[in-house]
Structure formats: C-alpha cells, structure tokens
Chains A and B, each alone.
Chain A
Amino acid sequence: MAASVHKLVRKDGKKAQNILAPLWFLLPALIMVAIFIYYPVLATANMSFKNYKLFDQSNIFYNGFENFRGIFKDLAFRRILQNTVLWVTVSLFFQFFIGFGLALYLKSKFKFSGLYQGIIFIPWALSGFLMGLVWKWIFDDNLGVLNDLMLKLGLIETPIPWLSNANWAMAAVIIANIWYGVTFFVIMILAALQGVPNEILEAAELDGCGKAKSLFLVIIPFIRPTLILIILLRIIWITNFPDIIFGMTSGGPNQQTHILSSWLVQKITYDQDWGSGSALGLMMLGVLFVFTIFYLLATRLEKESEGN
C-alpha cells in the first residue's frame, strides 16, 4: 500500500516536471549562449554603425554606413577578398583529399597504426598561432630551413622570397594551413568510414565490385551526409581561422596576405578601430549565413533529384 502511494506521487510529480524540467536543464546553457554569443552579435551590429575608435573614446557617434563604405573603399579589400576565396578553396581541397586518402589507408589496421594515428593527429592539438610562428621560422627567406634544404638539394639556385613576396607568402600560409587541417578530415572521415557496415561491403564484393568501384558506388554514397556536413563546417571554420596567417605574416607584406578574419583581428587589436572591425565582422557573418543556406539547399536539392 505504502509503495503504491509512493508510486502515484512519483508519477504525478513526473508529469508536472515534464513541462518545465527540460527548460530548467537547458537554462544555464541558454543563458551562457545568450550572454557570450548572441549578445556580442547584437552589440557588433550596433557598433558597426558607429564611429568607434578605442583610442578616441570622446568621439563616438553613429555614422550610418560609413564603416561599410570604408571597407569597400579600402585599397586592400579586393586583394583580401581574393585571398579569402583562395585560402578557403585551396586549403579545403588539399585537406579534404589528403585527409580522405589517409583515412582510407588507416581504416585497415597495420602494425603500429595506432601509434601512427596518434602522431599524425598531433597538429590538431597545437595552437594555430604558434604553429604559424613555427612555419614562419621554416619559411624565413634567409634563415629558414626550407630554402636551405632546397638550395642544398639543388632544387633552386636562389632563395625563394617565401614571406617577403605576397604571392609566395600566400602559398606559404596555405601550405601551413593544409598541414594543420588535414587531421580534422582524417579523424572525421575515419569515424564515418567505421560506421559503414561490413555486410554492405561484403555484399558489394560478392557482386563483383572492385576496390575502386565499391569506394565510389558503396562507401561514398553511404557516408555522403557526413561528408556534406563536415565540408560545410570546415568551410566556415577555415574562413574564421586567422591564427596561422597571424603567426606567419600578420597579413604582410603590406596587407597583401590578409584574409577577412585576420583583417578583422588587425582592426580590433592593432588599429583599435572597433566600428570598422564590427562592420567587417557583421559582413562576414552575413556572407557565411547566406552561403550556408545556399549550400544546404543545393546539397538537399541534389539529393532529391537523385532520388527521382
């Protein structure tokens, strides 16, 4: 009797809980996100319409679209836009294909494959900014080991101006970024590959699929949703990743290796022009938002037309 009463109360209590309980559980997370992510977005939107320079705080006022105009009129803007597209597409291309290849190789275990994985995952555990500095040391025009090695091996006659020439410097930062980001794809694609059921692969083999055929006809279609998602995440993440450029070139020579996000950091921390920095940040957010929607629509449409 006592037990059943107890149960009844508990059931009632549970019902009453059900409406509000999940919200209580979610409250701390939502509060933190509101204060530290969404509030800054709104504040940025507000600040982007102000003349707001940290070193001139007596002179803060709304100036309409002046900050946005200033960004478009900036002489470096075109170059920075091109750099951003180059940075994202070339980095992504190599990170993805190298990562995919390595993941396929690592899927079947071999001696020391665990150790091997542990070692090639290391870049992910490192600070992008510091690794930027490390690569700067390697690519240094005069003191760098890369030019030294290439000279010694007879690959080049004169040192390559890796960091003092804008085009070489763009190549250098992208190489460093590929080094840094392949790990992400290896981990994610390996995780996805391990989710492919063996039965499907065996069935494909029985049907006479070779390795290449089963890769394209069975494995890739199976992990396609994961691939679409991680490529999207990656595009956003590479766009918002100024650390390596900051360590290697700080956007130099003469602003020629900035991408949008490293330019943003420069505006906020060095120029201390927060109005302009906010305008740039808001534009980046807008572009990424629109891109994401188009990306998701495009990949979904493709899937639907495949289904038909």
Chain B
Amino acid sequence: MAKEILRVEKLNKFYAKQQILYDVDFSIAQGEVLALLGPSGSGKSTLIRCLNGLEEFSTGDLFFDGQKMVPTEKNWQQIRQKIGMVFQSYDLFSNLTVLENIVLGPIKVQKKSRSQAVQIATRLLKRVGLADYLQTYPRQLSGGQKQRIAIVRALALHPEVMLFDEVTASLDPEMVRGVLEIIKELSEKDNMTMIIVTHEMNFAEQIADRVLFLEDGHILENTPSKQFFVNSQTERAREFLESMKF
C-alpha cells in the first residue's frame, strides 16, 4: 500500500447559509491520480480549492502526510509549497516574464539561489517544449503555452501533490491535447500524485486511478476509474456519463 498523502474527513462548506459540500470524505495515496467529476455546480472546484486553502472550509479535517492541518494563514502558506495548483484561467503574472513567473516561488518562498531556480525553470521549460520563451511576457503567448507554463510554475516548487482545476476548459480545442499530455506524462514518468477536476471524460478515463463523483456537494461515488467508466455504481453517474457523450 502506497503512503497516504492527503486525507479529507467530514469536510463541510457553507456559503452564508447555503451548504456547498456535505461530509466529504476521501484520501489519496502517493502516486495516485484522482479525477473529480460531476455536473457543473456540484462543488468540484470548491472542494479542490479547499485543499490548498483558497476556500475556507466550515467544518471537518484535512491531513497532510498524516499530520492534521490547522488552517491558519501561516500554515496554508507553508503547505501550498507542497501542493501545486493550476487554474482554469491561465494566470501567469502579467507583469513578469516567463522566467520570472517560474522562479518567483523558488526564490522568494523557498529561498533558493537565483542560479538554482533558473536551472530548475530551464529544465522544466525544456520538458514542456517552451525553452525558447524564457524572456517572453505572458501576453505574447497562446492559451496553451500559458497553461503549460502555469504547470511548470507550480512544478518548480517540487510539490508532492498537484491540483488541476479544469485546466483545459478555456483552451482552444487544438491546445487541449498538449496540456493533457504533459499532465499524463507527469503521472507516468514522475509518479506525481494528482487531483484533477475536468470535463474531458476520455482524458479522465485514461489517466485516473480513481474517480470521485460529486453531485450537489455529496460524494455519490468513490470508485476505481476502470469500474466507474464501464459500470458506475449509481444511476446518476451513468446518466452523467451518458450526457457527456455525443
């Protein structure tokens, strides 16, 4: 059994009086890829954002590497270095070049030397095929390029877990593939632990070890992905999968 990296226990989330997440329980082991699926508004993004403190949760517990997370600002700031996150809108810092975007975290947060950080950045950029863009500003890049660099920026901190929040949802169709291939390679080559919110069912089926199926803030299924896509446990999940097909 691989080591458990992250565990969520009885997590509840309210916006004002409205409850968004209900008693969410799950855990993820090292190297595992978890796909968070479900209809729009089911709470997938809220859940994934709770995992690195961008959303506060109302009750419940988070454990990282077996340690209970005390949700203070300082603790989150520490733990975010271990949990990389990539968003739907490719949010490179528009005032910084590609290189500066990537080295900002390693230098300022992890206090690495500049030359060390530049080395990491160059190596990672080479890997995603963008080594020529070190001095480019984000506005000069395509969406797909920006998203690949956003992934690199997160990886530069050497995270233990990566969170992907609908990272291909606002890309042009022909850009999607390049980004998904990088994510897949991360899992296959680096054995990266990942939680992925996506609407690309084919991709989820290929990459995920397990699927969490959410609806209205409830986890309806927590199923190995092979089983989920072939023979879901719940009627609702089957309907959902059916609706995603053409």
- Our verdict on whether A and B bind, yes or no, reads no
Where the two chains meet, the residues of B that have a C-beta atom closer than 8 Å to any C-beta of A are none
A contacts, CB < 8 Å to B: none
